[in-house]
A and B are shown apart, each in its own frame.
Chain A
Amino acid sequence: MTTVVEATGLTKKYGKFAAVDDASFRIEENRIYGLLGRNGAGKTTIMSLLTAQVFASSGSIRVFGQSPVENAEVLGNICFIKESQTYPEDFRPRHVFASAPWFFPNWDQDFADRLVADFRVPMNRRIKKLSRGQLSAVGVIVGLASRAPLTFFDEPYLGLDAVARQTFYDRLLEDFAEHPRTVILSTHLIDEVSNLLEHVIVIDDGRIIIDEESEDLRGSATIVAGAKSAVDGFVAGRDVIHREAIGGLVTATVSHLDEAGRSAARAAGLETSPVSLQQLIVRSTNLSESEEGQKS
């Protein structure tokens, strides 16, 4: 596998506040990554660092094997669609789509035209007058049609309705199949994109707390539900991430339960179900917070 991005000890400080704190990770070529985390966790900062929009306080970044800072060769292969992307306020969408091909050598005009129709973007309306969803659609179209070898989508769906979001996911997967490239998608609509993501990096408080294949992550925990006594008997001695009780009914999230374990649970009259990526990440980020609380 080819590594496209390698960050080592990456730190970005604003005064005393560390937006990104000693993050090390790798991004492999031609896969779809999810960069997940709560608001303000540092997702946008990581993306801005990798695209050299902001400068790191310390640590090293290699993109396509080189530092991306003021590196035309590296940046020419990157498209970064920010959630807070500002467009020249005198522009209309047609100006954005007219200029994008000059910057992206792999730009596909037919694809862009189809996407404009799919998302119903008004080409002649001033950027300022676009709705939040239409503005997001402009970014999504540029990000998809640019076919940049390394494409960043930072919460690209804001204001998009469910239909438009599904269109985005569908087009991304279709086009990805035909034109493989590396995509890094930050989102907190985790369940919506969980089928898309091949690898998940979770950031919390500027630190990377999960960096795993989504397949492994999904199988890494199981929900066991049933009568209180049965559940408690079963989970004794096992690693319980989360426990919830409603009346006599108890739901426990158990990590690393193998097939034998699941059979045992079913034999004990318990219901087992896989944990969704979203639940797992919510639990993990909450956990890291409570650990933090205990430390201080």
Chain B
Amino acid sequence: MTTIATARGAVRPKAQNRVLAVTRLQFVNRWTMFYLPAIILGAILLLNMAIWYIVLASLPTGTDVAHAEKGFQYTGAVFYIFIYMLVVAVQAISRTFPFALGFGVTRRNYYLGTALSFTILAIAFSVLLTVLSIIELATNGWGAGGHMFTPTYLTNASWGLRFVMYLCLFLFFLFVGSAIASVYVRWRAIGITAFFAILALLIVGGIAIITLGHYWTAVGTWLATTGSVGLTAWLLLPAAIAAIAGFFVLRRATPKS
């Protein structure tokens, strides 16, 4: 009669080591995670600066420069970097999930390690954006009165508040990205189609409820009182829901070849 026992040479891996190994794995290619998004951010900034200078240079003499610069307050250029982070999250999970499973990682440890790497990524880029926003204010908008990192509702905010708002935005986009990626990894294209169909239904349903119940005034009041800072903070709720949903979706996912 043979016995079943832990094999010689077998080791008991420490759980936190496996989680951290996944976190390190997500960052092993610095280029994808840090350099490329940073370069994209730099390119957007340069492009915006070019536009500001062209606009300023093309002003007819005697125009109020301050008036033109007022228009620069509303750039949504920095938004690209948030969307790009959603793409980074989707790519990171769809690429490394089947790979990490071959390395003997549980789905749980994979997700926890990945979530930790996304949080680190969010903090790193929030620091970068905060530093750039401080430079932007100190240089009078890159010498052109531009506001890429300090849009109009953030001009008077403290750098600490700006950091927190950036962090909320990054966490939102990264974890929505990881939820989408988990759906893709588990159910492929059909899952993604169903996901967006359900999302569209929820949005339309929400609008219907607000419209039919005549709640638009209430919504408007809530938006006005919550303000941009409050609204950004509210993003943490869907971010947390996405993070938890992504975990449970990935728990039963199998790598497809």
Q: Are A2 and B107 CB-contacts (below 8 A) given A73-B13, A81-B102?
A: no
Question: What sequence of 0s and 1s flags, for each residue 1-37 of chain B, a beta carbon within 8 Å of any chain A beta carbon?
Answer: 0111111111111010110110011001101100000
Contacts of A106 in B (CB 8 A): 9, 11
* B96 at the A interface (CB under 8 A): yes
Distance between Cα atoms of A45 and B212 in the complex (Å)? 53
* B76 at the A interface (CB under 8 A): no
Distance between Cα atoms of A52 and B106 in the complex (Å)? 9
Residue of B nearest to A28 (CB): B2
Contacts of A109 in B (CB 8 A): none
Q: Are A6 and B4 CB-contacts (below 8 A) given A76-B13, A82-B257?
A: yes
Closest Cβ–Cβ distance, residue B84 to chain A (whole Å): 15
Contacts of B28 in A (CB 8 A): 91, 95, 98-99
> Does A103 lie within 8 Å of B104, measured CB to CB?
yes
Residue of A nearest to B13 (CB): A76
The A interface is mostly helix, strand or loop, or mixed, namely loop
B interface, how many residues as a size bin? 35 or more
Q: Are A102 and B25 CB-contacts (below 8 A) given A75-B105, A77-B104?
A: yes
Residue of A nearest to B25 (CB): A99
* Contacting residue for A149 out of B9, B29, B251, CB 8 A: B9
> Does B103 lie within 8 Å of A79, measured CB to CB?
yes
Contacts of B257 in A (CB 8 A): 82, 84-86
Q: Are A3 and B12 CB-contacts (below 8 A) given A88-B29, A88-B96, A99-B24?
A: no
Contacts of B3 in A (CB 8 A): 2-3
* B254 at the A interface (CB under 8 A): yes
Closest Cβ–Cβ distance, residue A168 to chain B (whole Å): 18
Q: Are A182 and B7 CB-contacts (below 8 A) given A72-B13, A79-B102?
A: yes
> Does B4 lie within 8 Å of A2, measured CB to CB?
yes
| Selected interface stretch from A62-70, A116-124, A159-167, A273-281 | A62-70
> Does B95 lie within 8 Å of A76, measured CB to CB?
no
> Does A105 lie within 8 Å of B11, measured CB to CB?
yes
* B101 at the A interface (CB under 8 A): yes
* A176 at the B interface (CB under 8 A): no
Contacts of B108 in A (CB 8 A): 70, 72
Distance between Cα atoms of A64 and B13 in the complex (Å)? 14
Interface of chain B residues 86 through 141 with chain A (CB within 8 A): 91, 95-96, 98-109
* A111 at the B interface (CB under 8 A): no
Contacts of A29 in B (CB 8 A): 7-8
Q: Are A64 and B101 CB-contacts (below 8 A) given A53-B254, A98-B28?
A: no
* A87 at the B interface (CB under 8 A): yes
Interface of chain A residues 177 through 228 with chain B (CB within 8 A): 179-182
> Does B7 lie within 8 Å of A149, measured CB to CB?
yes
* B227 at the A interface (CB under 8 A): no
> Does B2 lie within 8 Å of A26, measured CB to CB?
yes
Contacts of B25 in A (CB 8 A): 99, 102
Distance between Cα atoms of A104 and B105 in the complex (Å)? 10
Contacts of A180 in B (CB 8 A): 9
> Does A103 lie within 8 Å of B103, measured CB to CB?
yes
> Does B95 lie within 8 Å of A103, measured CB to CB?
no
Closest Cβ–Cβ distance, residue B7 to chain A (whole Å): 5
Q: Rank and list the top 10 A-B pairs by shortest CB-CB distance, nearest first.
A: A76-B13, A84-B257, A88-B95, A102-B21, A103-B103, A75-B104, A65-B4, A78-B104, A149-B10, A90-B32
What would 19 A/B residue contacts be, using CB atoms closer than 8 Å?
A2-B8, A4-B7, A6-B4, A29-B8, A48-B254, A64-B4, A72-B109, A75-B106, A76-B104, A80-B101, A90-B95, A95-B29, A102-B17, A103-B18, A103-B104, A105-B11, A149-B9, A149-B11, A179-B9
- Contacts A29-B7, A79-B103 known; 19 new A-B pairs at CB < 8 A: A4-B7, A28-B2, A52-B106, A53-B254, A65-B6, A72-B15, A72-B18, A72-B106, A76-B11, A76-B104, A77-B104, A84-B257, A86-B255, A90-B95, A99-B28, A102-B25, A103-B103, A103-B104, A149-B7
